[in-house]
Amino acid sequence: MTAAVRPKVELLSPGLIDRILQEAWLILEREGVLFENAEARALFRDAGASVDEAGQRVRIGRRLVEACLSRTPESVTLYDRTGEESFRVGGDDVHFDPGSAGTRVVDHRTGRERPPVSEDLVTLARLADALPNFHFQSTGLVASDVPPVLGDSWRVYLALLYSAKPIVTGTFRVEGFGPMRDMLAAARGGPEELRRKPLAIFDACPSPPLKWSHLTSQSLIDSARAGIPSELISMGMTGASSPATIAGTLVQHVVENLAGLVLCQLAAPGAPVIFGGSPSSFDMRKGTTPMGAIETMMIDMAYAQIGKALHLPTHAYMALSDAKTPDAQAGYESGIGAVLAALAGINVVSGPGMLNYESAVSFEKLVIDDEICGMSYRLLEGITPREDPLAEHLFREFKPETQFLTLPHTRKWYRIEHRQSPLPDRDTYDAWVAAGAKDLPERASERVREILEGTPARRPEAGLADELRRIIVDDARRSGVASLPL
Amino acid sequence: MDLTRFQAMSQAVIDGDREAAAALAREALSRGFDAQAAVENGFIPGLQKVGSLWESGEYFLPELLAAAEAMKAAMAVLRPALEAGREAALSLGKVVLGTIEGDIHDIGKNLVGALLSANGFEVVDLGADVKIDRFISAAEETGASIIGLSALLTTTMLGQKRLVEELHSRGIRGKFKVLVGGAPVTQKWADDIGADGYGENALAAVRAAKALTGRE
Ligand code: B12
């Protein structure tokens, strides 16, 4: 029996990939990229790159980039907190996780945004843990009830306490890295174990155009040395912080990400790096950055294709929406994004649950998007010829009254072939009315409550919880934070 | 100056043609024409036309910003020739603008700055990652009436609060109007920290600035 064909979509011809790369090599070598971080510049200088210290500019030859590319692992395997379940980030494997660092949460009682508090972070971790189609969780909200100096490490603390899934996160300050790494290492049983079995990905964004800030360069260096995978998040905004054309923005994207990748390899040869991004089209009327625009998704799919051509794991911010409530726009933008990301074979897809560009999280939308992600995984399984013959044998004794519902073949296959989806409305009209005529956000809201009331959080054992507490309390003390909300 | 020359000035702004705008301004001066007339009858009508093209949905941000740039180029040439009192009358006021220390997001701030200057404000752009102290000293030095603070991070939002407090503690709170904005910033935050104005986007920023200067 033959296997299923994995559906796949590619937007770039090999010729166009080559042109983009050629221009990227040229820019890296001739114009170079700005690195604000002195240690980063020293690493480049030691590796023979041409460094203009005064202008903070680093020019990187193609040979160095290619040497670094050849040292970068083609895939990274993440392990959950228990160390048992593993996820390969590479090939055409797809893993969805909720979007990151929202500064607002949509309150399901009022339908309006408000600042998130620590309880919301707990809810997010628990939902991400319970919803089956998120392979990873993410530190998707920034708590407003802890002082901002503790914003980054506090998120990782709660994530480790309320979910066992691997974590997509990132630093907000240079000092945040230490405690974040220590908590991850504690969960794993030591820094070497963490290196062998990564538990988290750290996102780091270059500053378009062509610059890596002090903070994000440091995150790349520190993560590389600790064996923590870095996700390179170039984020040009067409016509605002990158060229207006899609192909032009791709050139900039490749330059920025490759400069970051070289830094990772110089800091620690063989460091795991993921070729990611959060570019967007730019709304020339509102001055906003629509993540749900089709051009945004096209840029994502295309740079991921280039990442694959460079034999790198890939990431994108897709399956999210610019709508302000979980409405039809939220559904179509997230749905189209998720399906396209899956068809493009993007390894880490961050975004579900997010609204209002990248700034708000809705728990109802998270539940809805989980369903979308489930559909996307199913699509990727493709069509498998389950039996040989496929169906001819079912028609051998064909009679007009043949009923498929009663065939053993049906009972054998229907559960395997078809997803069971309780969330979408598949009632008859009368049954829907009888059940209260609820729309999707209402049903999703009920599902949120069911999970929170019925699915206990996967908490770490007491010893680890104590150790994590010790690390965060220590970080709080050093940061001058007197009390913690939870 | 004849009508066609005024029209050419307007057109340079409408087309967002910096070189043409500056060249027309230089030409006006070299021929001894009145700088004031060039601004009022030439360049400003162009800007007004751009405003209505924006309102009607014809123009988008790139055209708006290009027009603001062309206007700026012309004003750079004409300003020295304007009588001091008259120059002040043409300006709606001076705004010191920047993104708070620790924050490098500057795209929104740049948009706000461009629209403020397109609408007649004089903008002193301090850039991104700007210390609280710098805002205050720049405002004092330039005699600005408004300090505009952009913050895109929850961490740097606090800088807006600190600036208001700093103005109080120096006893100069009354000297400046404080205008705040940036994605995480809300009207409520602006009220809580005692800022004078808030703008959700660049057009709202212009409205707020006009309200603060009593020009609307
Ligand atoms: C582009 C972007 C970047 C770019 C910025 C490039 C640049 N030169 O500006 C880069 C890649 C550098 C970047 C870096 C980071 N970013 Co960023 N970024 C964004 C993004 C996607 C869009 C911001 C933007 O330019 N919007 C378009 C402009 C036009 O809109 P705007 O800035 O909101 O401005 C409008 C209004 O707010 C208002 N306004 C703005 N300023 C002012 C001022 C006044 C006086 C007034 C009246 C009005 C006003 O008018 C403007 C025009 O309409 C936002 C997400 C978002 N949608 O906001 C995240 C976001 C702000 N970034 C975020 C983060 C976390 C970071 C990093 C820390 C990530 C990292 N670890 O690397 C770093 C921080 C670096 C630093 N120290 O500042 C988070 C913030 C979360 C938080 N807790 O605060 C956000 C919300 C994304 C997310 N959900 O994760 N980022």
Q: Does ligand 1 have an atom closer than 6 angstroms to the CB of B107?
A: yes
The DSSP 8-state label assigned to residue A233 in this structure reads E
Contact A376, A94 (CB under 8 A): yes
Q: Looking up tokens 């036309």, which residue turns up?
A: B49
Q: How confident is the model at residue B216 (pLDDT cuts 50, 70, 90)?
A: low
Q: Does A149 touch chain B (CB under 8 A)?
A: yes
Q: Does ligand 1 have an atom closer than 6 angstroms to the CB of B201?
A: yes
> Does position B86 have pLDDT exceeding 70, yes or no?
no
Contact B22, B9 (CB under 8 A): no
Question: Collapsing DSSP states into helix, strand and coil, what is residue B127?
Answer: coil
The answer as to CATH 3.30.830.10 being correct for domain B91-212 is: no
Its ipTM equals 0.81
pLDDT digits (tens, 9 = 90+) for B167-198: 999 999 999 999 999 988 999 999 999 999 99
Q: Does ligand 1 have an atom closer than 6 angstroms to the CB of B187?
A: no
Cis, peptide link before residue A389, omega less than 30° from 0: yes
The DSSP 8-state label assigned to residue A148 in this structure reads G
Q: What is the pLDDT of residue B80?
A: 87
Residue A74 class from Cβ within 10 Å (0-12 exposed, 13-18 middle, 19+ buried)? exposed
Q: By C-alpha distance, which of B150, B147, B76, B68 is closest to B114?
A: B68
Contact A306, A21 (CB under 8 A): yes
Q: Does B183 touch chain A (CB under 8 A)?
A: yes
Q: Does ligand 1 have an atom closer than 6 angstroms to the CB of B104?
A: yes
Q: Does A359 touch chain B (CB under 8 A)?
A: yes
Q: How confident is the model at residue B88 (pLDDT cuts 50, 70, 90)?
A: low
Q: Where are the domains of chain B?
A: 3-89, 91-212
Q: How many Å apart are CA A290 and CA A239, to the nearest integer? A: 13
Flag if B111 and A287 touch (Cβ within 8 Å).
yes
Enter the pTM of the model: 0.90
Structure tokens at B107: 């795209």
> In chain B, what's the furthest Cα-to-Cα distance?
55
Q: Does A399 touch chain B (CB under 8 A)?
A: no
Q: How far is CA B216 from the centre of its chain?
A: 15
Q: What is the pLDDT of residue B214?
A: 83
Q: β-pairing, A33-35 with A315-317?
A: unpaired
Q: How many Å apart are CA A301 and CA B62, to the nearest integer? A: 26
Which atom, in ligand 1's list, is nearest to the CA of B97? 45
Q: How many Å apart are CA A395 and CA A327, to the nearest integer? A: 45
CA A198-A204-A209 angle, to 5 degrees, is: 155
> Does position B117 have pLDDT exceeding 90, yes or no?
no
Nearest-neighbour CA in chain A from B162: distance (Å): 14
Q: Does ligand 1 have an atom closer than 6 angstroms to the CB of A123?
A: no
Candidates 1.10.1240.10, 1.10.8.80, 1.10.10.410, 3.40.50.720; CATH matching B3-89: 1.10.1240.10
Nearest-neighbour CA in chain A from B74: distance (Å): 24
pLDDT in tens, chain A (486 residues): 578 999 999 999 999 999 999 999 999 999 999 999 999 999 999 999 999 999 999 999 999 999 999 999 999 999 999 999 999 999 999 999 999 889 999 998 888 999 999 999 999 999 999 999 999 999 999 999 999 889 899 999 999 999 999 999 999 989 999 999 999 999 999 999 999 999 999 999 999 999 999 999 999 999 999 999 999 999 999 999 999 999 999 999 999 999 999 999 999 999 999 999 999 999 999 889 999 999 999 999 999 999 999 999 999 999 999 999 999 999 999 999 999 999 999 999 999 999 999 999 999 999 999 999 999 999 999 999 999 999 999 999 888 887 899 999 999 999 999 999 989 999 999 999 999 999 999 999 999 999 999 999 999 999 999 999 999 999 999 999 999 999
Q: Looking up tokens 């192909």, which residue turns up?
A: A247
CB within 8 A of B189, min separation 6: which ones?
B157, B160, B180, B198
Q: What is the pLDDT of residue A314?
A: 98
Q: Does A286 touch chain B (CB under 8 A)?
A: yes
Would you tell me how many other CB atoms lie within 10 Å of the CB of residue A145?
15
Question: Collapsing DSSP states into helix, strand and coil, what is residue A141?
Answer: strand
Contact A194, A228 (CB under 8 A): yes
Question: Collapsing DSSP states into helix, strand and coil, what is residue B115?
Answer: helix
Flag if B154 and A241 touch (Cβ within 8 Å).
no
Helix axes A177-188, A151-162, angle to 10 degrees: 20
Q: How confident is the model at residue B1 (pLDDT cuts 50, 70, 90)?
A: low
Q: Which domains does chain A have, with CATH numbers?
A: 1-385+419-486 (3.20.20.480)
**Nearest residue by C-alpha to atom 91 in ligand 1:** B105
Residue A93 class from Cβ within 10 Å (0-12 exposed, 13-18 middle, 19+ buried)? middle
Q: Within the 64-103 window of chain B, which residues sit less than 8 Å (CB to CB) from chain A?
A: none
Q: What single letter denotes the amino acid at residue A446?
A: E
Test site for ligand 1: of A205, A280, A284, most ligand atoms within 8 A of the Cβ: A205
